[in-house]
């Protein structure tokens, strides 16, 4: 059982009434980060769809398609472990700008004519790994920019924006690739990172790098080598951090269908457009769910529903065992996405509970765990889909996710 102070942290706010989203958009720095997020996420999803379709069209392998999609997820593990701490040791705005510029170069390299498929996947790996310190720095800035009740609202807006950008990128990705090919999609992706860097430079205030008391000089250098170990101990030793992190990792199970979207569309007798729709269905549900969850429910209601919704997000996928056709499959994925709204409370609780001087590090470690679990789930789903049907693979992922969610609820991790 969580202590009372942990329940407050999971609640994510102090007032027991829904808030309005207009409050966060009145903050100029938040608006800048929001615009930068839209641009980069939209371009990222276009690139993911382009490369995943390219691999599947060339190989007709469900496993290789899943591995390609995984190349845009798993690198977050390495970035979270090795690079996320940069958001605590350097000015966070500077980290965001440098990461954006690095991603511009990596994506532009993908456009080189005749580049082998493994090289494209490796560059996608690099782009994703560099995105980790960017995301960690942005998340670490939010508590400085958003105060009081605006923090959870800002978290909800950020997650909703991410989902809507995914919907637009995934749904439009198949069409863009079909009409224009891979290179225009990648060029657009590079442009989004460049504009994101410019927006961050112009409208996000510069702040000094955070330091713990006495964390300077040789002592700071000595402690830097053990930051990762200290971060791991912190997140697993503190229930206020551990519980929302473990709940967040459940996304690995209900996001598994993304890794086999192309094989699922093919098995259902559809093409590239259906692949985009399959990828977009869950993201659209998550967008609608996050808005309703934060706009119409009080903080206490959000805290009470977080655990049941976490179970539901995985449980609904078990119905894929019935072999649904495309319309019903899209509805199931949409419903699973609706239940994903519990992540608003989980993410808010985690960031609130993290100490400022380690906020970037622990957020990066949480991302690392999320990425390795998502990557593993997607590869396993690809393996199952290679020998059975994609629907069977999704149903199995849902069953395993349900068991994990119930275990977290029973043990009150």
Identify whether 6 is part of a domain: no
Distance (Å, rounded) from C-alpha 135 to C-alpha 133? 5
DSSP per-residue string spanning 237-303: H-HHHHHHHHHHHTHHHHTHHHHTHHHHHHHTT--HHHHHHHHHHHHHHHHHHHHHHHHHS-HHHHH
Reported pTM: 0.69
Most confident of 179-183, 188-192, 225-229: 188-192
In the chain, the percentage of residues whose pLDDT exceeds 70 is 81
Can you give the residue range of the structural domain that contains 142? 21-206+223-411
- Residue 177 has what pLDDT? 67
pLDDT mean over 114-141 = 83
Structure token pair of residue 347: 């993410």
Residue 56 domain flag: yes
14-47 pLDDT, tens per residue? Answer: 345 455 667 788 899 999 998 887 887 777 776 7
294 within a domain of the structure (yes/no):
yes
Give 310-358 pLDDT, tens digit per residue.
999 999 999 999 999 999 999 999 999 999 999 989 988 898 888 888 8
Domain CATH for 257: 1.20.1250.20
Q: How many domains does the chain have?
A: 1
Q: Residue 403: which of 330, 340, 338, 317 has the closest Cα?
A: 317
Within a domain: 232: yes
User: What average pLDDT does the structure give for the chain?
Assistant: 81
The per-residue b/e assignment along 93-106, b for 16 or more CB within 10 angstroms, e otherwise, is bbbbbbbbebbbeb
Confidence of residue 8 (pLDDT cuts 50, 70, 90): very low
Is pLDDT of 398 > 90?
A: yes
- Are residues 286 and 366 in contact, defined by beta-carbon separation less than 8 angstroms? no
Enter the tokens of residue 339. Answer: 């239940």
User: Which H or E element spans position 360?
Assistant: helix 359-387
Q: In this predicted structure, what is the pLDDT of residue 2?
A: 35
Q: Are 31 and 146 a contacting pair, CB within 8 Å?
A: no
Residue 31 in any domain: the answer is yes
pLDDT exceeds cutoff 60 at 203:
yes
Average pLDDT over residues 223-243: 79
In a domain, 11, yes or no: no
Give yes or no for residue 262 having a pLDDT over 90.
no
User: Would 1 be classed as within a structural domain?
Assistant: no
- Across 227-259, b (16+ Cβ under 10 Å) vs e yields bbeebbebbeebbbbbbbbbbbbbbbbbbbbbb
Residue 4 clears pLDDT 70, i.e. is over it? no
**Torsion sign, CA atoms 135, 138, 141, 142:** negative
Which of 9-13, 134-138, 197-201, 274-278 has the weakest average pLDDT? 9-13
Q: Give residue-wise pLDDT tens across range 93-116.
A: 999 999 999 999 998 998 888 777
Q: Is 287 part of a structural domain of the chain?
A: yes
- Cβ count within 10 A of residue 297: 18
Band of pLDDT at residue 188, cut at 50, 70 and 90: confident
Most confident of the ranges 7-16, 154-163, 231-240:
231-240
């Amino acid at each position: 059982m969580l202590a009372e102070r942990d329940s407050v942290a999971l609640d994510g706010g102090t007032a027991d009434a829904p808030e309005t989203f207009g409050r966060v958009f009145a903050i100029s720095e938040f608006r800048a980060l929001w615009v930068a997020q839209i641009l980069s996420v939209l371009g990222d999803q276009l690139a993911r769809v382009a490369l995943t379709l390219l691999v599947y069209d060339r190989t007709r392998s469900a496993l290789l398609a899943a591995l390609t999609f995984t190349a845009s997820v798993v690198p977050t593990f390495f970035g979270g472990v090795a690079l996320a701490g940069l958001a605590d040791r350097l000015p966070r705005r500077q980290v965001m700008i440098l990461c954006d510029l690095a991603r511009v170069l990596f994506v532009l390299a993908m456009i080189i004519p005749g580049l082998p498929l493994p090289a494209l996947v490796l560059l996608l790996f690099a782009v994703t790994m560099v995105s980790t310190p960017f995301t960690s720095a942005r998340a670490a800035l939010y508590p400085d920019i958003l105060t009081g009740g605006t923090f959870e609202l800002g978290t909800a807006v950020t997650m909703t924006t991410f989902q809507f950008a995914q919907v637009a990128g995934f749904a439009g990705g198949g069409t863009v690739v079909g009409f224009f090919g891979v290179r225009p999609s990648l060029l657009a992706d590079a442009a989004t990172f460049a504009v994101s860097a410019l927006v961050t430079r112009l409208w996000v205030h510069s702040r000094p790098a955070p330091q713990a008391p006495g964390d300077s000089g040789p002592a700071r250098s000595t402690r830097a080598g053990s930051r990762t170990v200290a971060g791991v101990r912190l997140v697993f030793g503190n229930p206020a951090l551990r519980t929302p992190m473990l709940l967040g990792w459940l996304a690995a199970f209900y996001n598994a269908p993304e890794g086999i979207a192309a094989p699922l569309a093919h098995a259902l007798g559809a093409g590239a457009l259906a692949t985009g729709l399959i990828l977009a269905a869950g993201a659209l549900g998550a967008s609608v769910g996050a808005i309703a969850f934060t706009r119409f429910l009080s903080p206490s209601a959000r805290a009470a529903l977080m655990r049941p919704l976490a179970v539901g997000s995985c449980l609904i996928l078990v119905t894929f065992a019935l072999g649904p056709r495309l319309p019903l499959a899209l509805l199931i994925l949409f419903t699973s996405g609706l239940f994903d709204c519990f992540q608003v409370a989980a993410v808010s609780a985690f960031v609130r509970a993290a100490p400022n001087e380690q906020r970037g590090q622990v957020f990066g470690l949480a991302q690392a765990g999320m990425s390795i679990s998502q990557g593993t789930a997607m590869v396993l789903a690809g393996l199952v889909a290679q020998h059975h049907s994609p629907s069977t693979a999704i149903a199995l992922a849902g069953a395993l996710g349900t068991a994990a969610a119930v275990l977290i609820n029973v043990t009150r991790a």
